[in-house]
Amino acid sequence: MSSDNDQIPEQQNESLEDQEQNPVETDSSDESEESVEDLAAELAKAQATIKDYWDQIMRLNAEIENNRKRSQRDIEHAHKYAVSNFVESLLPVTDSMELGLNATETENANLDSIREGMSMTLDLFIKTLEKHGIKAVDPTGEKFNPEHHQAMTMQEDAEAEPNTVLAVMQKGYLLNDRLIRPAMVVVSKEKS
């Protein structure tokens, strides 16, 4: 057994000696040319990738700018034409008022027909306002509410409790439950 073990190191020594005596000839210039070519190829690939990313960034920037301009234009149009539906719904009221004025110029115009036409026009106008969330505030007989009413004067009234709205001088209006104009009212006060 010892002879087998002895032979293995001898064989290894021989192969090492052979390598030292017959070194493998390598051309260092070939290796450097290959590594330069590899580096140049990698550089070209990296530059192409950078160019692709740069193009993507430029396209995204252009798209963002276009979206910003489009949004700004949409906002301007929304502000400019926000009341267009409201205006369209008021046109029949205008037409009705013009018809009423024309009716006053006819020979057979009478006060009752003019009053009836005005009443119909007012009803149409009120319905149009309500359709768009505008509601009249007519607080006659209600408790005075400083958030919705503006007291113009105070009067003593034996029948009404103090701080009750006795009369409305001018109606107030709410837009979607937000006060647009307070009702101008006469409020009861305690007897002195």
Q: What is the pLDDT of residues 121-173, one digit of tens each?
A: 999 999 999 999 999 999 999 999 999 999 999 999 888 889 999 999 999 99
- The model's pTM is 0.58
Reported CATH class of domain 134-192: mainly beta
Domains of the chain, by residue range, sit at: 134-192
Nearest to 185 by CA among 147, 129, 133, 135: 147
Q: What is the pLDDT of residues 18-73, one digit of tens each?
A: 555 555 555 556 677 788 889 999 999 999 999 999 999 999 999 999 999 999 99
Q: Rounded to 5 degrees, what angle do the CA atoms 133, 180, 82 make?
A: 55
Residues 187 and 166: beta-carbon distance below 8 Å? yes
